Amino acid sequence: MRILAIVAQVPGAEERLKVAEGGVDLGASKLVLDTMDEYGVEEALRLREAGAGGDTAVEVIVLGVGPSRVEAALRNALALGADRAVLVDSGAIDLARDVVATSKVIAEVAKRERADLVLCGAQQADSDSQALGAAVAERLGWAQATWVTALTCEGRTLAGRHDVDDGQQDFRLPLPAVVTAQQGLNEPRYPTLPNIMKARKKELRMEVLAGFDVAPQVRLVKQELQHRERLHRLIPGSDAKAAADELLRALREDAKVLA
C-alpha cells in the first residue's frame, strides 16, 4: 500500500503578517509545515507502523506543490519519518488561489505513484482553503472523508469518525480514497536527531509544473491585512454587579445587539 501525504508550507500561526504592494509578503516570515497537513503525515506514519490493511510494507510519500522553498517542509516531513518526497515546483505560476488547478497536479502524481490513499490537511493555513482533498478525490474518481478525527484501515476498507454539519459521524469507506486530517486525529511526533540526519539522505524528487498542463483560472486582485475598528471599551470589573449592569446597558442602548 502506498500513502501520499500532501504537505504545504505556511507562515506560523503566531507570525506577524506583512502586506506589500497589495499582496502578503512572506519574505520575512518564518514558514512551517502546515499543522493540519502534519496531522495527515502523522496518520500516514501510524498507518505504516500499524501495517495498515495487513500490509507490512506500507510506503509513505510526501508531496508538495508550490515554490521551491516548500522543500524545507518536505524535509521536515521526511525527518518525521516519511519514506520519500516529491516536489512539483510551480516556479513563477501562482497556484495558491486555484485549488481546482492544484488538484490536477496532485491527482496526476497520485496516479503515477499508484497511491491507494491520499491524506491532506482539512484546511490550509495560507489560502484558508478546505477544498483540496475533495478536489483531488474528484479528479481521481475516489471516495472521500473530510475533517477526520479517527481512522483505521482493515483490508481495503477505512473506518473512522469525522465532523459533519450537525455533529460527528462514524463512517466506512472503500480504498482508494482521500482523507482530510484535522486536530483530534492524532498527536504528531517530533523529529528525532537520527531521523533528521537520515532525512537528508532520503529521496526528494523535483519535478516542474510544465509537465502537468495546468492554467490557474482564479486571479488574485489584492490582499489586505484585516483591520476592523473595535471600540475597546473597558468596563471596570471590580464590582461585578455594576460591571454586569453597565455591560447590559451598553449592549442594549449603545450597540443595540441585545433586546
Span 37-96, contacts to another protein by CB under 8 A: none
Which one of residues 57, 201, 241, 253 is an interface residue with another protein (CB under 8 A)? 241
- Residue closer to another protein by CB (options 13, 193) is 13
Q: Is 107 exposed, middle or buried, given 0-12, 13-18 or 19+ CB atoms closer than 10 A?
A: buried
Helices 71-80/35-49 angle, 10° precision? 30
Q: Nearest approach, Cβ of 61 to another protein (angstroms)?
A: 22
3-state secondary structure at position 228: coil
Residue 33 grid coordinates: 509545515
How many residues in the shown chain lie near another protein by CB under 8 A? 85
- Return the residues of window 16-35 that contact another protein according to CB under 8 A: 17, 19, 24
Site for another protein in 180-219 (CB under 8 A): 182-184, 216-219
Within 86-145, the residues that bind another protein by CB under 8 A are: 97-101, 103, 122-123, 125-135, 137-139, 143-145
Alpha-carbon distance 6 to 234, whole Å?
A: 45
Q: How far apart are CA 62 and CA 75, in angstroms?
A: 9
Least distance CB 196 / another protein (angstroms): 27
How many Cβ atoms sit within 10 Å of the Cβ of residue 139?
18
Stretch that binds another protein, among 45-53, 67-75, 203-211, 229-237 (CB under 8 A): 229-237
For 90-184, strand residue ranges (E) read 117-121, 143-154, 157-164, 167-174, 177-181
Compute the least distance from the CB of residue 245 to another protein, in Å.
Answer: 6
For another protein, which is the closer residue by CB, 206 or 220?
Answer: 220
